[in-house]
Amino acid sequence: MAQTKYIFITGGVVSSLGKGIAAASIGALFEARGLKVSLNKLDPYINVDPGTMSPFQHGEVFVTNDGTETDLDLGHYERFVRFQATKKNNFTAGKVYEKVIQNERRGDYLGGTVQVIPHITDEIKRRIKEGAKGADIAIVEIGGTVGDIESQPFIESIRQMMLELPSSNTALAHLTLVPYIQVSEELKTKPTQHSVKELRSLGLQPDCLICRLEKELPHDEKKKIALFCSVDPKSVISMHDAETVYSIPLLLYAQGVDKILLKKLNLSKVKSPRLNDWKRVVDAKLNPKKKVSIAVVGKYVDLKDSYKSLNEALDHAGIVNLAKVDIQMIDAAKITKTNVSKLLKSFQAVLVPGGFGSRGIEGMIYACQFARENKLPYFGICLGMQIAIIEFSRNILKLKNANSTEFNTKTKHPVIGLVTEWKDASGKTEHRSERSDLGGTMRLGGQQCLIKKSSLSHKLYKKLTITERHRHRYEVNPEYKNELIAGGMDIVGTSFDGNLAEMIEIKNHPWFLGCQFHPEFTSNPRDGHPIFNDFIAKAIKIKR
């Protein structure tokens, strides 16, 4: 297609309605019709990027292949659409202001007064267009809710774009809440009416309203909303709670969301969608043949979203194996030497995910030791791999109090430490130190890993060179490499130059694998991920 067409997605009434899922699902429907889709998230908060935001507050930080720390919605995008997001697909108000202020300091505005309109809005529009480049359809999700003070420049920018581009190049879908009042047993359409009124007062008229509620929105309510909000009743869509998010593309398709938007975009002639993959995924998810229970020993156990991609990846592996994966989060800080076997004995496998800071580390080490000694499948991701190295060093190599310098700077055996200087594949030298900027010093994004022939990892990936995404500061200390290998810990994956350990396996263990990267970021429901798929397949076979 010659020109990129835009679908803007705004939200009203409250946040956390699932705008990201709606955007991703609409993307999936267009992809199924053979269109090239780009998905973009605009975050109205002032942080320059979400990299330094606590997972307790903001959910997981998703990492793109090009090494950007982004909002977790980009994870939804990549799970629903075969599209690889880059740093251009997510930006915050902070980033926009940072750029405009830089321009101003440089004198780019020739002494003019720098204002929200047009300077901030111009920068927002420039970035939206940049994220859309090369796509047939660019879906642009605006974070927050309409009426928030922070989101106004973003809403204004899309108003301008809808005015400046031909009408058939843009469409707007608005997601709102239709609450059910228990005592009067009534659905209330008023919040939706108000939110659309607010949107219209900002100069925007939605082409389609996606209503969030628990049970299907009845026809009468659709008609009422349509009348009050000036849309066709057919364009009022019920996005009610579903048993799995992966059925949302099918739910939206059944109500013709893609057709409504394609009509507005003057694209009615594109081919009909192929949705067999999604039907298979939903069928496998809703009709599992087996059950498997996995202990995830981590620290951010209270907020569901802080391990979003991880939970999804385990679920995808369940879909591939036709199994229901029962994921139990166990607070590592509560695990002690004496209670570990009691806490873990009913599980078929143990996973220690990524994390930062020293809380819960000793508990993770006990959990890892338990899995190693009891021949339970153990999967260590990033911090989880470092834990495996520490455990092995302490208990097999007898390096007393071996540790990572992240948790004990004075440890006698720093088996995990900072590699202060490292050349990446492009030849660029990266520097890291204990005191450098939190945001700036991580090994981030997709990096090549060379896999040892005939290892379990080789069997799983069926490749000798892979690319997976990193987000960490510490590494296996190369000085301990030989000792680890001699003791039976195999280093089966290394960085492109052979220097850094990227994957480990224990030879005399049925399934023990650690990786310094985060494979959960590249898993999707249609294929799963080679490591997760096999981890779950192996766990299913464990009798507890």
- Residue 285 or 471: the one with the smaller Cβ distance to ligand GLN is 471
The span from the CA of 117 to the CA of 230, in Å, is: 28
Stretch that binds ligand GLN, among 152-160, 196-204, 293-301, 467-475 (CB under 6 A): 467-475
User: Residue 247, Cβ neighbours under 10 Å: how many?
Assistant: 19
Would residue 472 show up in a list of annotated catalytic residues for this protein? no
- In the shown chain, the binding pattern of residues 68 to 107 toward ligand GLN, with x for contact by CB under 6 A and - for none, equals ----------------------------------------
Residue 537 CB contacts under 8 Å (≥ 6 apart), including other chains: 317, 321
Would residue 221 show up in a list of annotated catalytic residues for this protein? no
Total residues contacting ligand GLN by CB under 6 A comes to 10
- In the shown chain, the binding pattern of residues 332 to 371 toward ligand GLN, with x for contact by CB under 6 A and - for none, equals ----------------------xxx---------------
The span from the CA of 475 to the CA of 1, in Å, is: 46
By CB under 6 A, the residues from 377 to 406 that bind ligand GLN are 382-383, 406
Shortest CB 356 distance to ligand GLN, Å? 4
The reply on whether position 474 binds ligand GLN by CB under 6 A is yes
Shortest CB 440 distance to ligand GLN, Å? 13
Among 5, 41, 127, 472, binds ligand GLN (CB under 6 A): 472
111 is in an annotated binding site: no
Stretch that binds ligand GLN, among 124-132, 226-234, 367-375, 466-474 (CB under 6 A): 466-474
Q: Could you give the C-alpha distances from 170 to 124, 136, 164, 264, in angstroms and in order?
A: 16, 12, 10, 8
- Residue 109 or 356: the one with the smaller Cβ distance to ligand GLN is 356
Closest residue to ligand GLN, based on beta-carbon distance: 354
Place of tokens 């009891």: 374
Going by C-alpha positions, the residue among 171, 153, 157, 166 that lies closest to residue 125 is 157
1 is in an annotated binding site: no
Catalytic residue among 382, 413, 472, 529: 382
355 is in an annotated binding site: yes
Place of tokens 């938007």: 261
Which tokens is 484 given? 């680890």
Q: Please check whether residue 505 is in contact with residue 457, taking contact to mean a CB–CB distance below 8 angstroms.
A: yes
341 is in an annotated binding site: no
Q: Please check whether residue 419 is in contact with residue 404, taking contact to mean a CB–CB distance below 8 angstroms.
A: no
Backbone angles phi, psi at 80, to 5 degrees: -95, -25
Shortest CB 468 distance to ligand GLN, Å? 12
150 is in an annotated binding site: yes
- Residue 150 or 331: the one with the smaller Cβ distance to ligand GLN is 331
**Bridging pattern class, strands 429-431 and 421-423:** antiparallel
- Residue 95 or 473: the one with the smaller Cβ distance to ligand GLN is 473
Catalytic residue among 119, 472, 518, 529: 518
4 is in an annotated binding site: no
> Any idea what DSSP says for residue 66?
T
The span from the CA of 290 to the CA of 322, in Å, is: 7
**Bridging pattern class, strands 290-298 and 349-352:** parallel
> Any idea what DSSP says for residue 71?
-
- Residue 171 or 383: the one with the smaller Cβ distance to ligand GLN is 383
Would residue 243 show up in a list of annotated catalytic residues for this protein? no
User: For the stretch 459-493, what's the b/e string if a residue is b when 16 or more beta carbons lie within 10 angstroms of its beta carbon?
Assistant: ebbeeeebebbbbbbbbbbeebbeebeeeebbbbb
- Residue 97 or 356: the one with the smaller Cβ distance to ligand GLN is 356
- Residue 155 or 329: the one with the smaller Cβ distance to ligand GLN is 329
> Any idea what DSSP says for residue 486?
H
Q: Please check whether residue 370 is in contact with residue 340, taking contact to mean a CB–CB distance below 8 angstroms.
A: yes
363 is in an annotated binding site: no
Burial of 159: CB neighbours in 10 Å, binned 0-12, 13-18, 19+: middle
373 is in an annotated binding site: no
- Residue 261 or 491: the one with the smaller Cβ distance to ligand GLN is 491
Shortest CB 300 distance to ligand GLN, Å? 11
503 is in an annotated binding site: no
Place of tokens 């659905």: 187
SS (H, E, C) 254-317: HCCHHHHHHHHCCCCCCCCCCCHHHHHHHHHHHCCCEEEEEEEEECCCCCHHHHHHHHHHHHHH
- Residue 228 or 407: the one with the smaller Cβ distance to ligand GLN is 407
Shortest CB 418 distance to ligand GLN, Å? 9
Shortest CB 385 distance to ligand GLN, Å? 8
User: For the stretch 189-221, what's the b/e string if a residue is b when 16 or more beta carbons lie within 10 angstroms of its beta carbon?
Assistant: beebbbbbebbeeeebebbbbbbbbeeebeeeb
Place of tokens 């049925």: 510
78 is in an annotated binding site: no
> Any idea what DSSP says for residue 143?
P
Shortest CB 477 distance to ligand GLN, Å? 12
Catalytic residue among 31, 312, 520, 529: 520
Shortest CB 35 distance to ligand GLN, Å? 35
315 is in an annotated binding site: no
68 is in an annotated binding site: no
Which tokens is 319 given? 């879909």
By CB under 6 A, the residues from 502 to 521 that bind ligand GLN are none
Residues making up the annotated binding site for UTP are 15, 188-193, 224
Residues making up the annotated binding site for ATP are 16-21, 73, 242
Residues making up the annotated binding site for Mg(2+) are 73, 141
Residues making up the annotated binding site are 15-21, 73, 141, 148-150, 188-193, 224, 242, 355, 383-386, 406, 473
Instruction: Give the residue numbers annotated as catalytic, written as ranges.
Output: 382, 518, 520
Residues making up the annotated binding site for L-glutamine are 355, 383-386, 406, 473
Residues making up the annotated binding site for CTP are 15, 148-150, 188-193, 224
Which residues lie near ligand GLN (CB under 6 A)? 354-356, 382-383, 406, 471-474
